[in-house]
Structure 1
Amino acid sequence: MEHVEIARAESERGELVLRERRPGSDDAGAPTALELRANGVFVMDTREVATEQALATAALAVVDDPRAVAVGGLGLGFTMHQVLADSRVETCAVVEVEQALVDWMRDGTIAHGPALLADARVSVVVADIAVAVAEARPASYDLLLLDVDNGPGYLVHDANAVLYEAPFLRSVRAMLRPGGAVAVWSAAEAPDLERSLASVFTTTRSERHDVRLQERDEHYWLYVGVV
């Protein structure tokens, strides 16, 4: 497999790299895929999007009327895309800390980006999710999907640890309408997160989801807090 760098950017959080994986002579027939890495750590690619789709689908099922949805983390846009596939969604605000990633989606460096961002329901805010949540109007959203990491055990940046603790979750609760929910996708069981959610939200639950990744059966967990 050949790796070709498409774009690179630096921020105070470090290096963000977009590269293309192209099949070589030994893997002819394999699809070309875009891959996103932060400080050398794999974040996601366009080949395996099952977890992003599953997060959105499972989270949307939690709320009866998810008219206003917020997504923490843009990634390559697949969580947002699945949210927009639900006709109940009237607005989808995506909070992304990396300006370069938003630019790559807007200018077509990520080829499918312009079409996704052209949806009139989408707004993109370039900010730290903790700051954006703290500044959100009270009771203004029905659902927040937290998709900045693969859960508290797989942080893209160490500073993201605060997103799974009670003080941030209290800010999340304040931005949600009655019956609203926060949904966190995790690649491993996260009992500390479950306890933090239970200390803040009226109702909480965890669900195991089986997903297929690279021809392997994997288990992910969805942690939910409902106002």
Structure 2
Amino acid sequence: MVSEVVARVDGVCGELVLRRAGPHHEIIANGVFLMDTRNGESERLMVAAAADRMPPGTTMLIGGLGVGFSLREALDHAVIRSAVVVEREPAVIEWNRDVLGNADLLADPRVRLVRDDLLRWLPTAGRFGALCLDIDNGPEWTVDEANASLYGPAGLAMLDAALAPGGVLAVWSAARAPAFAAALAQRFGPVETLAVPVPRGEPDLVFLVIRSRSGRGN
């Protein structure tokens, strides 16, 4: 299917391109495919699994607006009373409000939209009942080099500190990441891995851990 370029901008992470392919849209960063509107099953699973496990009455943080699948799933889930979405790319926000048709999500009174880099913003943001992170193609396939620190010891310590007791960390990945899974287990304890088959290649994965109610890890 022939793709049509809808928009091309200089973003925080480099060139961002929005393409239309038939009834669907795709977002490309520096020539690397990031996301599209075709399915979103694994993004929705990430949010639903975290919401099912998070402490009641807490707020969910979604790292990465994407094409809106994660936020829509959060707002459709009975347990979610408030959600914070952190997105650093102004163009992605505007595309969601306009051509991607998600203006209703961003206008929902339960939603707080933060336009910032998650790594810079999170350390002073307080604590959340769930952190759902989809800002890269995976821990070993980052959008830019700076994001790699999120998946190492310092990044996991930051995420741990941002979780309420009993809070859930869910991380999306387009590929296996054994080193990251081992680091998660060392920091938090047991890691649950959910797999979603895709038409070609490895399944999409969601890594889930739960912070102890008594402190760090389990």
Partner of 1:118: 107
Partner of 1:84: 75
2:194 matches 1:223: no
Structure 1 distance, partners of 2:158, 2:45, is 25
Query: What RMSD, in angstroms, separates the aligned Cα atoms of the two structures?
Result: 1.9
Report how far residue 217 of structure 1 moved.
8.2
Structure 2 distance, partners of 1:7, 1:66, is 39
Partner of 2:214: none
Q: CA 1:176 to 1:18, structure 2 compared with 1: closer, same or farther past 3 Å?
A: same
2:54 matches 1:63: yes
2:174 matches 1:187: yes
TM-score, scaled to structure 1: 0.85
Partner of 1:6: 6
Alignment check: 8 A CA contact 1:16 1:36 kept:
yes
Alignment check: 8 A CA contact 2:55 2:129 kept:
no
Alignment check: 8 A CA contact 1:206 1:221 kept:
no
**Which string of whole-angstrom CA distances, capped at 9 and with x for unpartnered residues, describes residues 113-142 of structure 1?**
2111121111111111111211212xx310
Among the aligned pairs, what percent are the same residue?
Answer: 36
Q: Give the gaps of 5 or more residues in structure 1.
A: 23-31
2:151 matches 1:161: no
1:21 counterpart letter in structure 2: A
Report which of the two structures shows the higher radius of gyration computed on alpha carbons.
1
Q: Runs of 4 or more off by more than 3 Å in structure 1?
A: none
Partner of 2:130: 143
Q: Give the gaps of 5 or more residues in structure 2.
A: 212-218
Alignment check: 8 A CA contact 2:13 2:143 kept:
no
- Residues paired across the two proteins, number: 211
Partner of 1:148, secondary structure, is coil
Report how far residue 59 of structure 1 moved.
2.2
Report how far residue 223 of structure 1 moved.
1.8
Report how far residue 4 of structure 1 moved.
1.5
1:219 counterpart letter in structure 2: P
| More displaced stretch, 79-88 vs 57-66 | 57-66
Report how far residue 64 of structure 1 moved.
4.2
Structure 2 distance, partners of 1:103, 1:142, is 28
| More displaced stretch, 34-43 vs 184-193 | 184-193
2:99 matches 1:109: yes
Alignment check: 8 A CA contact 2:12 2:89 kept:
no
TM-score, scaled to structure 2: 0.88
Report how far residue 66 of structure 1 moved.
6.1
Q: CA 1:67 to 1:86, structure 2 compared with 1: closer, same or farther past 3 Å?
A: farther
2:165 matches 1:178: yes
Structure 1 distance, partners of 2:194, 2:77, is 22
